[in-house]
Amino acid sequence: MDYLSKLEVELKIRGMSNNTIDNYVRNTKLFLDHVNKHPSKINEDDIKAYQAYLMYEKKINAKTINLILSSLKFFFGEILGNDITARIKRPKFEKKIPVTLSKNEIKKLLESIKNIKHRILLELLVSSGLRVSEAVSLRVEDIDFDEKTIHVKSGKGNKDRKTIISSSILKLINEYLDSRKRDSEYLFEKKVGHIGVKLPQLVIKEAAKKAKIRKKVSCHTLRHSFATHLLNEGVDIRLIQVLLGHSDISTTQIYTQVSTEQIKKIKNPFEKI
């Protein structure tokens, strides 16, 4: 068994998500191809040189480089038993305030979509806060139509959670299930298994264009909007953390920076001077 196969097997044993497995194996392969040395001969300087190459020649952003370093740390530490990345300083990246959509913008975005399957896909992202990978792989049995909840199984970090779903989208889902010709365990089925993440990415770009939304909109924008509007409605940030599946509250706290409704409620102490 070669080193990359060993890496893939170990990641599966650890219960990593398919996305993490794909990223770690791909990042490690690209590094090994670039260095062109036997893994046992690679040292810390080789990784530093690769990091510099990515930053200054390939112009790769800090967040992606940190993911690559995490991949190499796992490979050298867990597969080769020699973590040569331990002393390498990781680049810091700015936590930018996420782009969000107003309720009116969300309404226009959804109304621009005529295909019921595509509309359900985007409504799930914005009304349940699902990651795009979670939405495309959603099973019908994981939707509780009575409780109005979704059981997200093996989300990021291989953790299960529950989130909410609106009555309006449940109605659409029922209509879609009654009309579709192919029976499948997945909500967004194809001949074999479920659709991939490229479809919703294409759908949202086209919808934003039709709705004339000038912001840079992506699937994750809808998840950001879900969290921000919950915060605007006064939902406790710890509950939002649970709905989003964040392991660290600091990740959720970024939304406090974009909640304009919360900001407007703050009484200025110098108002009456």
Q: Among 36, 33, 67, 31, which residue's Cα sits nearest to residue 47?
A: 31
Listed in order, strand segments (DSSP E) in 4-127 are: none
Q: Within 10 A of 184 (CB to CB), how many other CB atoms are there? A: 16
Distance CA 120, CA 264 (A): 32
Determine which one of 73, 223, 224, 229 is catalytic.
223
Q: Could you confirm whether 255 is annotated as catalytic?
A: yes
- Ramachandran area for residue 146 (φ above 0: left; ψ -120 to 50: alpha; else beta): alpha
Helical spans, DSSP H, in the chain: 3-13, 18-35, 44-56, 62-74, 103-111, 116-128, 132-136, 167-179, 198-210, 219-232, 237-244, 249-252, 260-264
Find the helix or strand (DSSP H, E) in which 47 lies.
helix 44-56
Is the distance from CB of 130 to CB of 176 less than 8 angstroms?
no
Is the distance from CB of 72 to CB of 85 less than 8 angstroms?
yes
Determine which one of 118, 161, 229, 255 is catalytic.
255
Q: Could you confirm whether 156 is annotated as catalytic?
A: yes
Query: 3-class DSSP state for residue 196?
Result: coil
Determine which one of 156, 162, 194, 210 is catalytic.
156
> How far apart are the two ends of the chain, measured CA to CA in Å?
75
Write out the two tokens for 209: 């264009």
Is the distance from CB of 187 to CB of 143 less than 8 angstroms?
yes
Determine which one of 131, 161, 224, 229 is catalytic.
131
Q: Among 208, 201, 215, which residue's Cα sits nearest to residue 133?
A: 201
Q: Could you confirm whether 238 is annotated as catalytic?
A: no
CA atoms within 13 A on the CB side of 212: 0
| Catalytic residue IDs | 131, 156, 220, 223, 246, 255
